[in-house]
Amino acid sequence: MNSRLDPVLSRIDSDLDATLDRLMDLLRIPSISTDPAHKADCLKAAEWLVEDLKSLGAEAELCETPGHPMVYGKIGTGSPHLLFYGHYDVQPVDPLSLWDHDPFAPFIEERETGKVIRGRGASDDKGQLMTFVEACRAWIAEHGTLPCTITFFFEGEEESGSPSLIPFMEANKDKLSADLALICDTSMVAPGVPSICSQLRGMLKDEFTLTGPVMDLHSGHYGGPALNPLREISKIVASFHDDQGRVTVKDFYDGVQDVPADILDQWKGCGFDEEDYLSGVGMTESHGEAGYSTLEQQWSRPTLEINGMWGGYQGPGTKTVIPSEAHCKITCRLVGTQDPDAIRENLRSHVESRLPVDAKVTWNQDLDGSPAAVMNTARPEFEAARQALSAEWDREAVFAGMGGSIPIAGFFTTILGLDSMLVGYAEDDDRIHSPNEKYGLKNFHKGIRSWARILDAVSKT
């Protein structure tokens, strides 16, 4: 019996219909940040959130940026002071023909596995964002206040590269100061298995063009004597990995650390189904770095991936041409303390040292990189949150890695000096960024209850 928490949980249950109505209102706004045609819609979504935060009693405001506005709000007193981040912008919906319904006409769909919320942004990230807001609403409705101080920080450009994020954070360090940052833009490791992210992979992007002849050549006249950029770029790309799947770029693994044994034990018992994970995309076995499990490859090992290669004739039929150029796009997922700048330098040296005579390489100079983020799970708030999640889901919560990259977690550390805790309730089949996005109604409901429990637990640490 928890006399402070129990009425909050009851309020969440009794108010679920009204909570869903508010979410549906937000989901109806087509806040596609990357499309200039939806600039007014992004503003509308930001204004909606400001008014919603004000309805809680928060001091809330719209903060202009060169792009889409930030939403800022603050409420509560006492310790700890938590900074909660989410984003209100969504991915484009193309191709629209693959949707079974209007992406911005959200509704509840009955499925054999349970009810789901359908609509763009249901899972990424409006539904997740609102789980936290609604938990705060229930606390305030029951107690007139929150158990701690909350700052809300909502972005409108996460799905379009966050060009305004770093300048805004640097200019508003005092405004965004807190004891701990919370992020709700992640998923559970398996259905029904509550998860707290323990590490995020970083990202390095690069792209190069290999040029041979000064023009495309007739293969009857030059086939044989001419350098073929497609053939040469294929050799270079093949040299990035050895037969065991290890990256061969010099010093690539500097900064890669072993996963602690206790965390590995949690991963082994987390409910991850490797067969389903692989078969769902048409594979029968893992093709990654030898000696590591599928989860380790996904969460704790770095990668170098070829995202695109092209050159020469792309149209129907054939064209007897030796192309002048060949192109390659690369991304590296980084872990531990790998340095993206050092890896970029060594990657480029790897390519340039393998150029044949008469070939030259040019690099895209406009691509960025960010290091991995490792969460400070030794902080007492993390174990308190894990116990709170375990109580709500009736299943031991786990500290799980993530294969993706969420740069905001790193920015909270480097710009604001904050540790981040990432807790999300999405599932891998939510089809985020794809047609027919969904978010489980149970996940949404229990996500609200989970945050209420976390606020109670963390405020007592």
DSSP 277-327: HHHTTT-SS--SSTTS-HHHHHHTS-EEEEEEEEES--SSS---EE-SEEE
Q: What is the DSSP letter of 459?
A: T
Q: What is the DSSP letter of 159?
A: G
Cis status, amide bond into 380, omega within 30 of 0: no
Residues 183 and 210 in one domain: no
8 Å CB contact between 137 and 54: no
pLDDT digits (tens, 9 = 90+) for 94-119: 999 999 999 999 999 999 889 999 99
The confidence score (pLDDT) of residue 277 equals: 87
Residues 97 and 179 in one domain: yes
> Which of 7-16, 402-411, 426-435 is predicted most confidently?
7-16
* pLDDT range class, residue 289, cuts 50, 70, 90: very high
The confidence score (pLDDT) of residue 406 equals: 83
Number of domains in the chain: 3
* Cα–Cα distance, 453 to 196 (Å, whole number): 14
Residues 340 and 248 in one domain: yes
CB neighbour class for 138 (10 Å; exposed up to 12, middle 13-18, buried from 19): buried
Domain limit, last residue, from 352, 369, 386 = 369
Structural domain range at position 240: 202-253+302-369
Task: Report the range of poorest mean pLDDT among 21-30, 185-194, 358-367.
Answer: 185-194
* CA atoms within 13 Å, Cβ hemisphere of 283: 10
In a domain, 321, yes or no: yes
In a domain, 227, yes or no: yes
In a domain, 382, yes or no: yes
Q: What is the mean pLDDT of residues 40-62?
A: 98
The confidence score (pLDDT) of residue 354 equals: 98
Residues 416 and 325 in one domain: no
Q: Say which CATH number the domain at 228 has.
A: 3.30.70.360
Residues 196 and 214 in one domain: no
Residues 135 and 224 in one domain: no
Judged by DSSP in three states, 426 sits in: strand
Q: What is the mean pLDDT of residues 265-274?
A: 86
In a domain, 74, yes or no: yes
Percent of the chain with pLDDT over 70: 100
In a domain, 103, yes or no: yes
Domain limit, last residue, from 337, 369, 401 = 369
pLDDT digits (tens, 9 = 90+) for 380-413: 999 999 999 999 999 999 998 888 778 899 899 9
Q: What is the mean pLDDT of residues 420-448?
A: 96
Residues 14-35 as b or e (16 or more Cβ within 10 Å = b): ebeeebbebbbebbbbbbbbee
Answer yes or no: is pLDDT of 373 > 90.
no
8 Å CB contact between 401 and 267: yes
* Cα–Cα distance, 311 to 313 (Å, whole number): 7
8 Å CB contact between 324 and 310: no
The confidence score (pLDDT) of residue 270 equals: 86
Token code pair at residue 386: 């894990």
* Cα–Cα distance, 405 to 333 (Å, whole number): 8
pLDDT digits (tens, 9 = 90+) for 275-284: 988 998 899 9
Instruction: Point out which residues pair with 444 in neighbouring strands.
Output: none
Q: What is the mean pLDDT of residues 50-69?
A: 98
In a domain, 1, yes or no: no
pLDDT digits (tens, 9 = 90+) for 118-154: 999 999 999 999 999 999 999 999 999 999 999 999 9
Q: What is the mean pLDDT of residues 254-275?
A: 88
* CA atoms within 13 Å, Cβ hemisphere of 362: 8
Residues composing the chain = 461
Residues 230 and 217 in one domain: yes
pLDDT digits (tens, 9 = 90+) for 346-360: 999 999 999 999 999
Instruction: Point out which residues pair with 363 in neighbouring strands.
Output: 208
The confidence score (pLDDT) of residue 374 equals: 86
Percent of the chain with pLDDT over 90: 87
The confidence score (pLDDT) of residue 421 equals: 97
pLDDT averaged over every residue in the chain: 95
Question: Sign of the CA dihedral 135, 140, 143, 148?
Answer: positive
Residues 308 and 236 in one domain: yes
* Cα–Cα distance, 126 to 118 (Å, whole number): 12
Answer yes or no: is pLDDT of 298 > 80.
yes
Residues 264 and 247 in one domain: no
Answer yes or no: is pLDDT of 368 > 90.
no
The confidence score (pLDDT) of residue 31 equals: 98
Answer yes or no: is pLDDT of 73 > 90.
yes
Q: What is the mean pLDDT of residues 207-211?
A: 98
8 Å CB contact between 33 and 46: no
* Cα–Cα distance, 252 to 207 (Å, whole number): 18
Residues 54 and 75 in one domain: yes
In a domain, 173, yes or no: yes
Residues 230 and 362 in one domain: yes
Domain limit, last residue, from 369, 390, 409 = 369
The confidence score (pLDDT) of residue 1 equals: 80
Q: Say which CATH number the domain at 428 has.
A: 3.40.630.10
Residue recorded with tokens 């409705």: 141
* CA atoms within 13 Å, Cβ hemisphere of 109: 17
In a domain, 228, yes or no: yes
Residues 177 and 44 in one domain: yes
Return the closest-CA partner of residue 181 out of 346, 395, 419: 419
